[in-house]
A and B are shown apart, each in its own frame.
Chain A
Amino acid sequence: MAATKGTSSPFPAAGGTAGGRFPGLSGGLVILTAALMLVNLYLIFMVAPTDAVLGHVQRIFYFHVPIAVVSFLAFFVVFVASIGYLVTRRQRWDSVAHAAAEVGVVFVTLALLTGVIWARPVWGVWWTWEPRLTTTLILWLIYVAYLMLRAYVPNRRQGAVYAAAVGIIGFVDVPIVYYSVQWWRSIHPSAVVGPLADAGALEPIMRGTLFFSLAVFLLLFLYLLLERTALRNGEDQLAARRFAARRNNPRSPEEPADA
């Protein structure tokens, strides 16, 4: 640390990168998301009607579908940011891709879990190897592999390039998941969002609740993405500082900060 004294630091101040580029936006987003989530819960439990066939358990739909859609969006962000990184080799693209992949894995994990919980009372089984479930599990495995690749490749830059390749190729599974209910015989209900959606498939009040829920989960995704990207930038900043400290003062590479 002492070795870096007097030199102009190539890194921004701690409150800059580690605190996020948009600290005010992040704080505002979390408050807005929390408030809208309460409204969302009110709509789901008090306004949306109970399905006559499936009963109350059908309300899982208002979480399950938006979470799944947002996971697709997250992997689209990984796809775009990975292309951006390979073309420009700018660290920012890599940070966004990494953050979106991790947040996307959280979302797709929850899509699988809520789907499994919904399947038990409706289909009578927790899991069945039908096309939508199988392709979604493959999607989960692809992006878990993406995160493992980043964690285990010793050279960070090389890891970023490999991960970008996985992020681009892995995205191919997203349209397969979406169209799986149309391409193969499936017991999973058909799509209610996107190009395959049937306009009359849902009651207007159910559709309204679903899209409101989707908007709220989009905000939650945006908040988590901003936070995770800021964390990743902070990690990079710390690694660079440690590297500089080691290079300038090789005798005390791991000098405790409060020594």
Chain B
Amino acid sequence: MPFILLQSQSPANLPFLFAAFAITWLVFFGYAFLISRRRQELEREIREMQPGQEDKRDDTPS
């Protein structure tokens, strides 16, 4: 059905198009950011709970 395909079109519905893409990106970036931040916190907490961590800190020259 190539006869119904045009290369130009009036921009009447562009706000809807923009909204759909913007929301999609906001949600994906927001979710990826939350996972990444939580993982960093977890890694820090786990590192701090590592056995022998206190010894290492004590040995560090001030």
Smallest Cβ distance from B14 to chain A, in angstroms? 6
Chain A interface helix/strand/loop/mixed: helix
The answer to whether B12 and A238 touch across the interface, beta carbons within 8 angstroms, is no
When the two chains form the complex, which single residue of B6, B12, B31 contacts A52, counting CB atoms closer than 8 Å? B6
Given contacts A14-B47, A231-B35, contact A60 B17 (CB under 8 A): yes
A110 touches B54 (CB 8 A): no
A227 to B20, CA, bound (A): 25
Interchain CB contact under 8 A, A55 and B10:
yes
Per-position binary interface string of chain A over residues 111-125, scored 1 when its CB falls under 8 Å from any chain B CB and 0 otherwise: 001100110110000
* Docked CA distance A51–B9 (Å): 8
Known: A49-B5, A55-B10, A257-B49. Is A231-B24 also a contact (CB below 8 A)? no
Q: Is A15 an interface residue, CB under 8 A from the partner? A: yes
The residues of B that contact A258 with a CB separation of less than 8 Å are 48
Note all chain B residues with C-beta closer than 8 A to A224. Answer: 31-32, 35
Report whether A118 and B48 are in contact in the complex, using a CB–CB cutoff of 8 Å: no
Known: A2-B54, A224-B32, A238-B49. A49 touches B42 (CB 8 A): no
DSSP majority for the B interface? Answer: helix
B4 in contact with A52 (CB, 8 Å): yes
Residues on A with beta carbons closer than 8 Å to the beta carbon of B3 = 52
| Residue contact B20 to A63, C-beta cutoff 8 Å | yes
Interface residues of A in 219-252 (CB under 8 A from B): 220, 224, 227-228, 230-231, 234-235, 237-238, 241-242, 245
Question: Is A190 on the interface with B (CB-CB < 8 A)?
Answer: no
Contacts of B42 in A (CB 8 A): 18, 231, 234-235, 237-238
Q: Which chain B residue has the least Cβ–Cβ distance from A67?
A: B24
Chain A proximity of B62: nearest CB distance (Å):
15
Contacts of A15 in B (CB 8 A): 43
Interface presence of A53 (CB below 8 A)? yes
**Minimum C-beta distance from A23 to chain B (A):** 11
> What residue of chain B has the Cβ atom nearest to residue A242's Cβ?
B49
B27 touching A110, Cβ below 8 Å = yes
User: 14 A-B contacts, Cβ less than 8 Å apart?
Assistant: A14-B50, A18-B39, A18-B46, A54-B13, A56-B11, A56-B13, A113-B20, A117-B16, A224-B35, A227-B39, A234-B43, A238-B45, A238-B46, A238-B49
Given A6-B51, A15-B43, A18-B39, 17 more contacts at CB 8 Å? A2-B54, A4-B51, A5-B51, A50-B7, A51-B9, A55-B13, A56-B11, A56-B14, A57-B14, A60-B21, A113-B23, A114-B23, A117-B23, A121-B12, A203-B2, A231-B42, A234-B46
